[in-house]
Structure 1
């Protein structure tokens, strides 16, 4: 596979020739991506193209992988010392006058820890982003500390990581790994990645997989046992480090990094609800975090400006799409996610309002924010939005279906056209969002969360809101059904049920069966009453984030919503009697 628009060169070092690809403007800061096992540089292709518009991006095939040549003999040809020689040769060739920003995954990260901690590479690395690959020296000290003081907790950590490292033992056996990779394992590996890691199907991995994996076994044989037995005591990082930890990594325990601040004092931590192969499953989020980190270091900061809002550790860098984000609960929710460091897509039929929300989201902490003008009731427009978001921003991690309209008035005064308008936005808008973005989440296979804004009216009947209450009750049931269906995909679904919240929906809600003057009077009165109640939309936004974190099914927000929800479960007859009361007009 050839990277789109890439420029190739060959770098000769230590008896091997390394295939190097470059994208972007060479005058910009250089981001150098190092691949892991059993990969080649193409594992980074989706990340590289996302970074190339801002940086000079460099990828190379590690010796013996991809189109780079293998050392002869193989034994002793993959030591960390020789891999460091390769890195320095590539860095000198592509960025002779400026240090590079190093990014490593899996064994690319393992060897990059060597680069960023040895004296001879000092001054050549501006920053290092590590994912799914610890320093062997740090790992060795981690093991030794737990062996010297074997508390039950520490023994459990050792056993847990030992179980995750089963493949390391197999790779040390002679001949067998090579035979497996050149035989049945090599043929089935793409299906294994697709089934268990949810790596998208396509032109990855490349045809060099079998030889890459066979040669790469020597990475383990040449380095693991020597370094774990005698770890270096001076393995301190001489550049700022960003650690990205996939929480679902099947091969590495999070506990490996518990004491990393001892070795990397300039450390920024990120966590990601994903599995091991994040360069293929989460390229958009990685590109965002790498870009942010590189930009911060280039700007003279040791680490990016960290999000300070609640749940920043959960939502930092995640892609969140919110409909109805131009005002009210939608805008407050966009700001809440922005403060948590998320990337925000603000969707509203009022394009200017959506743009203002996106702009303010960037100011309050969003990694990035965009505005999209869409009417959620328009199925074709929503389909175009879903395709655009997936192509330009990535697969949504959190979807908040919040867009809604109000309609008051008796059932007999509500026309068929009134019903269609309410159901098109309040119900069909939610259906379109769940269907399109939920499908993308499911196909990615890395989980996600859907939030549907219902209402206390979903379980509190009233003679004044038959159409609105029906639409919101349908949203509540839809959410419950989706929650049951999507649970096996790791996708949570939450129905948020606010009560009387001070937003502009009261001043824009239609009133069936009355003329324009009477409708305006009722809108003004409702807005005044809700204003006196003065329950802010920001509290609903807080409940939304909390509901996702706790994976709650139904979240009644205001006191009256919680009370009505309780009565609907234990005293529904009381609610039915209250529903007969005619509200003041």
Structure 2
């Protein structure tokens, strides 16, 4: 019985082999064919297939010798790419005789998919191809050939790096022995611990025989193709390349030269390991849906122009304090990278302006939401609405904050409560409510908490503000440790003097209203002369998420203070005693 819930099964004959084919969704809709890799069966696609079936006719089949499909006899010579292409055409003709199909392949399913998308006899049968963690053997052969014939230190490093990842393909008898022995028995635990694949009904009980048969995919194809790669391996359909940045088996560098082979190429990257059909089904299904829809609508896909577009395209990003300053700049930077943006601010008009600007900047969708981050119930309502209407947030940026200056004894309990409610509790509410949903989904994500250089640089003039930001920094470090095992990164961003509206709205304790206005104007003027733009902080935030950095000082003074705080804290303590000019 198939694990693809609600699937309709049929048998498709191809030569001496009978393939088990499962179908979901409306056959009248565009057909998406999912091809699994090694050592899997079609059940690796169960999570992705269920999501795609809401929009498409979804087909997954067991590759010959895997799952409930029969194996060729003899095995040697029965798994060549030519015979696998025969299988694909037989399935495509059975499930979609009148229309080309959209192909998705993972691992060896992707290796096959490259063959199906580049050989002449399949031209017109493939409408699009999404490749996940599997190269074209022809492209890979040319990649190797260039590096062997024209070696440089960088190219040699790339060769050694990929060799370390794919040594297992050369083992002659070990795969069968290992998979029918301890490796097969322990594979579910390996996937859970190393790849973070949730335990459940995957992999299936046919794993040992699937892996043993699948070893012939390597033996029948790898060495012949790498020795003599085709010179005409050009894609005759649009291709979407999805590259997991944490892939232990394939280096992302092997796709460096891909544009010469693929005229219509869309690149995507995801911070995950090899088995993203199991660990990131939401993101993968969303990318497939967007790509297939653009091809079906016969409209060229407009690629996001911003930096890190490969990383953030289509992701859901929520930014608090998005009405102005760093929050607005960050929302727009993610929009330029193709993310869907939720702009949150207590000023409804400011949030709406940011959402409108995000759409103009390139966001496929953007929404404005009004909330006071210090209000727990308001944040709970916001989290419930976002979850119900937009989905689980992929990147959370807790940016909302206020400034407060004045000596400790001039700072009233009310001042302390206000600054901690917004600067600290606002971050806590965001992490708990949105980060909690990330953790429950178990598909990774990232949390950015905007702290300050004041978090590690003491000042006699900023006791309350510095305390709130120091707490945010430590909270981020603790949360990063807790969530590391779930693939959720946490970053504390610590800007120095940045030219934003926070300077003109900061509260100064212990002075009257007129003096406070004068100090606000003076501070805003000083920050204006410094003129470090919030856009640079936004760029640092995107870079930090892409690299999964822990603590990111922004501005030269913030970086300098960070170094001193670690290696010469006494200097900072002496600087902290200096009374600021009035």
Pick the TM interval, shorter chain.
0.7 to 0.9
Q: Which runs of 5 or more structure 1 residues have no equivalent in the other structure?
A: none
| Alpha-carbon distance between aligned partners in 2 of 1:505 and 1:22, rounded to the nearest angstrom | 59
1:236 to 230, 234, 237: 234
2:130 is matched with which residue? Answer: 129
| Alpha-carbon distance between aligned partners in 1 of 2:255 and 2:19, rounded to the nearest angstrom | 31
- Per-residue CA shift, 1:225-261, capped at 9, x if unaligned? 3333443333221112222222322222333323333
2:318 is matched with which residue? Answer: 321
Work out whether 1:470 is the aligned partner of 2:467. yes
1:331 is matched with which residue? Answer: 328
- Per-residue CA shift, 1:114-142, capped at 9, x if unaligned? 11111111011122121211122233334
| Alpha-carbon distance between aligned partners in 2 of 1:430 and 1:224, rounded to the nearest angstrom | 51
1:502 is matched with which residue? Answer: 500
SS state at 1:403 partner = coil
SS state at 1:234 partner = coil
Q: Could you tell me how far 1:210 is from its partner in structure 2?
A: 2.6
2:102 is matched with which residue? Answer: 101
| Alpha-carbon distance between aligned partners in 1 of 2:353 and 2:54, rounded to the nearest angstrom | 25
Q: Could you tell me how far 1:541 is from its partner in structure 2?
A: 1.8
| Alpha-carbon distance between aligned partners in 2 of 1:193 and 1:564, rounded to the nearest angstrom | 42
1:530 is matched with which residue? Answer: 524
| Alpha-carbon distance between aligned partners in 2 of 1:152 and 1:567, rounded to the nearest angstrom | 36
2:397 to 382, 395, 400: 400
Work out whether 1:453 is the aligned partner of 2:450. yes
Q: Could you tell me how far 1:266 is from its partner in structure 2?
A: 2.7
| Alpha-carbon distance between aligned partners in 2 of 1:457 and 1:156, rounded to the nearest angstrom | 41
Does the CA-based 8 Å contact 1:275-1:446 persist in structure 2?
A: no
Task: Evaluate the alpha carbon distance shift between residue 164 and residue 85 of structure 1 in structure 2; reply closer, same or farther with a 3 A threshold.
Answer: same
2:575 is matched with which residue? Answer: 575
Q: Could you tell me how far 1:433 is from its partner in structure 2?
A: 4.0
2:52 is matched with which residue? Answer: 51
Task: Evaluate the alpha carbon distance shift between residue 386 and residue 72 of structure 1 in structure 2; reply closer, same or farther with a 3 A threshold.
Answer: farther
Task: Evaluate the alpha carbon distance shift between residue 63 and residue 4 of structure 1 in structure 2; reply closer, same or farther with a 3 A threshold.
Answer: same
Task: Evaluate the alpha carbon distance shift between residue 423 and residue 248 of structure 1 in structure 2; reply closer, same or farther with a 3 A threshold.
Answer: same
Q: Could you tell me how far 1:389 is from its partner in structure 2?
A: 7.0
Q: Could you tell me how far 1:43 is from its partner in structure 2?
A: 1.6
Instruction: Report how many aligned residue pairs link the two structures.
Output: 573
Q: Which moved more, 1:559-568 or 1:98-107?
A: 559-568
2:248 is matched with which residue? Answer: 250
Q: Could you tell me how far 1:332 is from its partner in structure 2?
A: 1.5
Does the CA-based 8 Å contact 1:547-1:555 persist in structure 2?
A: no
- Per-residue CA shift, 1:393-420, capped at 9, x if unaligned? 7776543221223445665564434423
| Alpha-carbon distance between aligned partners in 2 of 1:135 and 1:494, rounded to the nearest angstrom | 40
1:77 is matched with which residue? Answer: 78
Task: Evaluate the alpha carbon distance shift between residue 506 and residue 95 of structure 1 in structure 2; reply closer, same or farther with a 3 A threshold.
Answer: farther
| TM-score relative to the length of structure 2 | 0.83
| TM-score relative to the length of structure 1 | 0.83
Backbone CA RMSD of aligned residues: 4.0
| Alpha-carbon distance between aligned partners in 2 of 1:189 and 1:563, rounded to the nearest angstrom | 48
1:265 to 263, 266, 269: 263
Q: Which runs of 5 or more structure 2 residues have no equivalent in the other structure?
A: none
1:212 is matched with which residue? Answer: 210
SS state at 2:250 partner = coil
2:337 is matched with which residue? Answer: 340
2:189 is matched with which residue? Answer: 191
Task: Evaluate the alpha carbon distance shift between residue 425 and residue 301 of structure 1 in structure 2; reply closer, same or farther with a 3 A threshold.
Answer: same
